[in-house]
Amino acid sequence: MHGILQNTYAAFTQRLHTVKAGDSVVPLLGIQIEKLIEFIMELSEKIRKNEDLNGTLKKLAILGYSTSGNGYYLLQRGILTLSES
């Protein structure tokens, strides 16, 4: 869990710094921020209820990847989705 959360944080931080520096080739989308909030809240709830975390951690890993150049390309093509399932 720690590794996935750390990688997702690093991916978002790197993208924010890149956009702030003026590189808008791979933007940070509003849906990515919304999903980050949604998935973190979901993770918190599952931890509180002592439920399986694997599905939520997978969504966070995919979300982090979507902030990269390759992930953004796949997201735009519809190959990568930020699903709720």
Mean pLDDT for back-to-back runs of 10 residues, the chain (85 residues): 95 94 90 96 97 96 95 95 73
Give Cβ neighbours of residue 80 (< 8 Å, ≥ 6 apart): 62, 65, 66, 71, 74
Token pair, residue 36, equals 């980050």
Note the pLDDT of residue 84: 59
Could you tell me how many helices (H) and strands (E) the chain has, helices first?
Answer: 4, 0
Token pair, residue 61, equals 């890993």
